[in-house]
Amino acid sequence: MATTIKRVEIESRRELSELMRDQFLSLDAAARDSQRKVAWCTSVGPCEILSAMGFEVYFPENHGALLGARRLSHEFIPRAVSIGYGAESCSYMNSDIGSTLMGHSPLQDVFGIAGPPKPDLLVYSTNQCREVQDWWSFYGQRDGAPVMGVCPPTHLGEVTPEQVAFVRGQLEQLIERIEQQFSLKLDYDRLREVVTLSSRASTLWRQVLDTATAHPAALSFFDGVIHMAPVILMRGTQKAIDYYETLLNELNRRVEKGTGAVPDELHRIYWEGMPIWPKLRELSEKFYDLRAIVAASTYCNSWAFDEFDGDDPLEWMARTSIEIFINRDEPVKQRFLIEMFDKFAIDGVIFHNARTCPNNTNSRFGMSERLREELSIPVLVIDGDLSDVRFFSTAQTMTNIEAFIEQIEELQR
Ligand code: SF4
């Protein structure tokens, strides 16, 4: 039965909508201005170099998420499959390429612009997956733009100084290639400024997420996936910092007043894996009705980096890019998750087995079972996908979530 308690909306969301509009209008204007250059970049870097060199930075993964959230992916994925992309390859990539081939983007409807800005340069890091390299290559060929990137060591246990130095060296080579290609010179003082801003936004983002340690939690995973946009798309700018200061103030007021994202929360859940963008609303309402807060997630935490100490910006970029969860081995991931469960007082864990993103799925090598046994905590594995609804059964998943919450209730009695 649906709860009668009214949801308290996060007011800062209106400001976020304005910020997003400004961001995309600015990108659109840059793409039409021969004096300005647009670079595409992966979501976890190395965007600070591009910003410091004067590029406007666009993040295609955000477009993939938007296609999913607007429930358009299934219309476009078959088009990418028809030119040889696998039906079970990354659905962000497939839907994005398909939307380009079919000439339709939700950016047209949402912001009134022609679509994603054409790239002058495409830069990737394979610290999250190799798919991005192939994805960018499609556009590099289509638009005749150079594709460059860094390939850090992956699946790391402890991160060593040698590994950081290796990636730092790759970043230096990347800078040299961009300088040669575009007759530019990177100003390292400017890079330090951008990295300082980036780190500040990231720290504020962590503080925003930490307001969910309160009981009731001030925001949920479903709020987080919306409000994380600036820390990805506007990282390295003052406007991202200003936005998170506003949001953090609002959330701290909620904590003081005892206002929760789920006001009468009874159960606290951890979400491991990618969001299921086309089903966010249904899932959010299901947890709300079950008086369960999804209080923390690996995904939202992916942009909460360690602070920059003001010394070497390239070292910070190299280190943070390989320290991220997705780039680590199973024992490190498991330790991180246990710390998160403790920090957020988690009652149960949901693993999302995303069919087209094995890279961001951690239930395939026994981790869910190990955690269930070690912590005696209820664990549910949901089969689905970040974007492609063909891999998700709403009825089956909702039934499984209800049974999972009942299991938690049993343990809480
Ligand atoms: S991490 Fe997953 S969702 Fe993101 S680009 Fe790579 S394969 Fe796609």
- Given a contact cutoff of 8 angstroms between Cβ atoms, the answer to whether 291 and 266 are in contact is yes
Question: In terms of C-beta distances under 8 Å and separation of at least 24 residues, what long-range contacts does 321-325 make, across chains too?
Answer: 321/44, 321/45, 321/46, 321/125, 321/127, 321/150, 321/152, 321/167, 322/127, 322/152, 322/153, 322/156, 322/159, 322/163, 322/164, 322/167, 323/159, 324/44, 324/127, 324/128, 325/298, 325/301
Q: Which atom of ligand 1 is nearest to the CA of 326?
A: 1
Which pLDDT band holds residue 276 (cuts at 50, 70, 90)?
A: very high
Domain-embedded: residue 183: yes
pLDDT at position 64, please? 98
Is the pLDDT at 2 greater than 90, yes or no?
no
**What is the residue-averaged pLDDT of the chain?**
96
Q: Average pLDDT in the 207-213 region? A: 98
Residue 130: what are its φ and ψ, rounded to 5°?
-85, -15
Cα 263 from Cα 210, distance rounded (Å) = 17
Q: What is residue 274's three-state secondary structure?
A: coil
Report residue 236 as tokens. 């390295």
pLDDT at position 136, please? 98
Of the candidates 198, 197, 187, the one whose C-alpha atom is nearest the C-alpha of residue 320 is: 198
Could you give the percent of the chain with pLDDT greater than 90? 96
Which pLDDT band holds residue 413 (cuts at 50, 70, 90)?
A: confident
Protein residue with least CA distance to atom 3, ligand 1: 357
Q: Compute the 3-state secondary structure of the chain and give helix, strand, coil in percent, each to the nearest 5.
A: 55, 10, 30
Give the distance (Å) from ligand 1 centre to CA of residue 273: 11
Cα 93 from Cα 121, distance rounded (Å) = 18
Q: Which atom of ligand 1 is nearest to the CA of 128?
A: 1
Cα 246 from Cα 371, distance rounded (Å) = 37
Domain-embedded: residue 49: yes
Q: Which atom of ligand 1 is nearest to the CA of 93?
A: 8
Protein residue with least CA distance to atom 6, ligand 1: 129
Helix pair 188-210, 313-323: axis angle to 10 deg? 40
Cα 274 from Cα 254, distance rounded (Å) = 27
> Distance of CA 321 to CAs 67, 76, 144, 176, 314, Å?
26, 31, 28, 19, 10
pLDDT in tens, 285-341: 999 999 999 999 999 999 999 899 989 999 999 999 999 999 999 999 999 999 999
Pocket test for ligand 1, best of 41, 42, 59, 93 (most atoms within 8 A of CB): 93
Q: What is the DSSP letter of 136?
A: H
Q: Rounded to a whole number, what is the distance in angstroms from the first to the last CA of the chain? A: 20
Segment (H or E) for 295: strand 292-297
Domain-embedded: residue 375: no
pLDDT at position 8, please? 81
Protein residue with least CA distance to atom 5, ligand 1: 132
Domain-embedded: residue 339: no
Cβ contacts of 222 within 8 Å, gap of 6 or more: 261, 280, 283, 284, 287, 294
Give the distance (Å) from ligand 1 centre to CA of residue 46: 16
Domain-embedded: residue 148: yes
Domain count, the chain: 1
Helix pair 280-289, 394-412: axis angle to 10 deg? 30
- Given a contact cutoff of 8 angstroms between Cβ atoms, the answer to whether 30 and 54 are in contact is no
Residues with a CB atom less than 6 Å from ligand 1: 61, 90, 92-93, 128-129, 131-132, 357, 359-360, 386
Give the distance (Å) from ligand 1 centre to CA of residue 71: 18
Q: Which atom of ligand 1 is nearest to the CA of 89?
A: 7
Of the candidates 269, 265, 276, 268, the one whose C-alpha atom is nearest the C-alpha of residue 380 is: 269
- Given a contact cutoff of 8 angstroms between Cβ atoms, the answer to whether 272 and 297 are in contact is yes
Cβ contacts of 391 within 8 Å, gap of 6 or more: 355, 356, 383, 384, 385
pLDDT in tens, 90-115: 999 999 999 999 999 999 999 999 99
Domain-embedded: residue 29: yes
Domain-embedded: residue 251: no
pLDDT at position 178, please? 98
Q: Which atom of ligand 1 is nearest to the CA of 356?
A: 7
pLDDT in tens, 365-412: 999 999 999 999 999 999 999 999 999 999 999 999 999 999 999 998
Give the distance (Å) from ligand 1 centre to CA of residue 63: 12
Protein residue with least CA distance to atom 2, ligand 1: 357
Q: Which atom of ligand 1 is nearest to the CA of 42?
A: 5
Of the candidates 236, 302, 233, the one whose C-alpha atom is nearest the C-alpha of residue 58 is: 233
Report residue 39 as tokens. 């670079």
Give the distance (Å) from ligand 1 centre to CA of residue 258: 37
Q: Which atom of ligand 1 is nearest to the CA of 357?
A: 2
Q: What is residue 113's three-state secondary structure?
A: coil
Of the candidates 169, 171, 180, 115, the one whose C-alpha atom is nearest the C-alpha of residue 146 is: 180
Cα 217 from Cα 273, distance rounded (Å) = 20
Domain that holds residue 117: 13-187
Domain-embedded: residue 76: yes
CATH number, domain with residue 159: 3.40.50.11890
